[in-house]
Structure 1
Amino acid sequence: MRVRNHSVKGRPRKGRRATILLVTACTLGAVATPLALAAASPEQAPAAAAADDRLLPVPQAPRISNGPYAGSQFCGARDGDPVVTTGSPTFGATLEAVAPPGTVEPARPGPRRKVTFEIDTAAGQPVLHRQLTSETSHDAALEVPEGTFTDGAYRWRVRVKDGDTSSAWTAWCSFTVKRG
């Protein structure tokens, strides 16, 4: 932006200083606003709760795949519930999202958190309750042994625990097994 320097007897016009201050304020606002919005978004609310050491963030992006190297189907997708076509699916979740650039992450416990997966039939009958230890602080995955499921409707959820501190459970995620 070019600001003209109109002068009266060698002195800059008073409006130039105000224009420079206005441009500077707008620039600072443009940089600070996205950071403030990112910190105030609902996705960051669990991370804010973790800062007070009473709660861990609820695991995010629960997903199912037909195996450890297959693409993931996310819970709550618009195209319906995930469909598993294998007898040994993999369940996964993100334990902690990486903070946006420019924000300060609170001190967090390191890796090796206990992650609990619960899988029930759609009617609520328990099928599998498994606790594992995550080797990273960001992700957890559970590969279910062959023969655990028959064709039908199921649901699952996950939570994370570190010492005496636990997250809330994720919402139940419905899925269908169709192997035939």
Structure 2
Amino acid sequence: MRVRYTPRTRAGRAVLAVVAALAIGAAAAPLSSAVSGPDTQSAAARNDGPNDRLLRTPEAPRISDGPYAGFQVCGGGIKPVVTSVSPTLAATLESVAPPGTVEDGTETGPRRKVVFEVDAADGKPAVRKQLTSDNSHDAGFQLPEGKLTEGEYRWRMKVKDGSAVSEWTAWCDFTVKRA
């Protein structure tokens, strides 16, 4: 049997092709916006010199009363309040891998250095600690006892990976208030 092409079947195929193209474009859009967007210059690795690369700034800085308590996200005009003098600071790092980096699970050992800074509200340094992240997805640091008292503080962090360094996160203002 021979199929005969008529204007209606050609139009139907054209509509089907357009719908398929739109569906493929919609699926690819999140991928392309992850690679390029309005903040591409600051988000992507760039070469400012032979050994200088800029990694993405860690995302979602948060603070908690301890390692098993819920986190309060920094920003949004709400200042977190913690009741512990040794709160846990954390941020998501998965966006800091340079473009084109693929983790296949064969890496061994720690991957990135993470620098935490905690200052009193007046800017006086309280704690500066550099740790090594065991993975590239998140980093946390529980402040040691005796470093903070009741009062106003702020913290931030950045990530180092060889010669690549991220920008500092925005300061996260928080209050230590004993219950």
* Structure 1, gaps ≥5 residues long: 1-9, 100-104
**How far apart are 1:171 and its partner, in Å?**
0.7
Question: How many Å separate the matches in 1 of 2:14 and 2:93?
Answer: 44
Of 74, 78, 83, the match for 1:85: 83
**How far apart are 1:44 and its partner, in Å?**
7.8
**How far apart are 1:27 and its partner, in Å?**
2.3
**How far apart are 1:43 and its partner, in Å?**
9.3
Contact 2:53 2:163 in 1 (8 A): no
TM-aligned CA distance change 1:159 to 1:84, over 3 Å: same
Which residue number corresponds to residue 93 of structure 2? 95
Question: How many Å separate the matches in 2 of 1:141 and 1:148?
Answer: 17
Question: How many Å separate the matches in 2 of 1:26 and 1:47?
Answer: 35
Classify the secondary structure of the residue corresponding to 2:60: strand
Which residue number corresponds to residue 127 of structure 1? 126
Which residue number corresponds to residue 107 of structure 1? 101
Classify the secondary structure of the residue corresponding to 2:54: coil
Supply the AA of the counterpart residue of 1:95.
L
User: Sequence identity of aligned pairs in percent?
Assistant: 50
Which residue number corresponds to residue 50 of structure 1? 45
Which residue number corresponds to residue 149 of structure 1? 148
Question: How many Å separate the matches in 1 of 2:68 and 2:39?
Answer: 29
Question: How many Å separate the matches in 1 of 2:55 and 2:92?
Answer: 12
* Structure 2, gaps ≥5 residues long: none
Which residue number corresponds to residue 7 of structure 1? none
Supply the AA of the counterpart residue of 1:122.
A
Contact 1:46 1:57 in 2 (8 A): no
Question: How many Å separate the matches in 2 of 1:169 and 1:70?
Answer: 25
1:50-73, Cα deviation, whole Å (9 max, x unpaired): 376821111011010111111110
Contact 1:115 1:140 in 2 (8 A): yes
Classify the secondary structure of the residue corresponding to 1:91: strand
Contact 2:121 2:153 in 1 (8 A): yes
Supply the AA of the counterpart residue of 2:5.
P
Q: TM-score, normalised by structure 1?
A: 0.79
Which residue number corresponds to residue 3 of structure 1? none
Q: Does 1:161 align with 2:172?
A: no
Classify the secondary structure of the residue corresponding to 1:174: strand
Question: How many Å separate the matches in 2 of 1:86 and 1:43?
Answer: 39
Question: How many Å separate the matches in 2 of 1:67 and 1:150?
Answer: 15
Q: Does 1:13 align with 2:6?
A: yes
Q: TM-score, normalised by structure 2?
A: 0.80
Question: How many Å separate the matches in 2 of 1:91 and 1:151?
Answer: 17
Question: How many Å separate the matches in 2 of 1:63 and 1:164?
Answer: 26
Classify the secondary structure of the residue corresponding to 1:33: helix
Classify the secondary structure of the residue corresponding to 1:86: coil
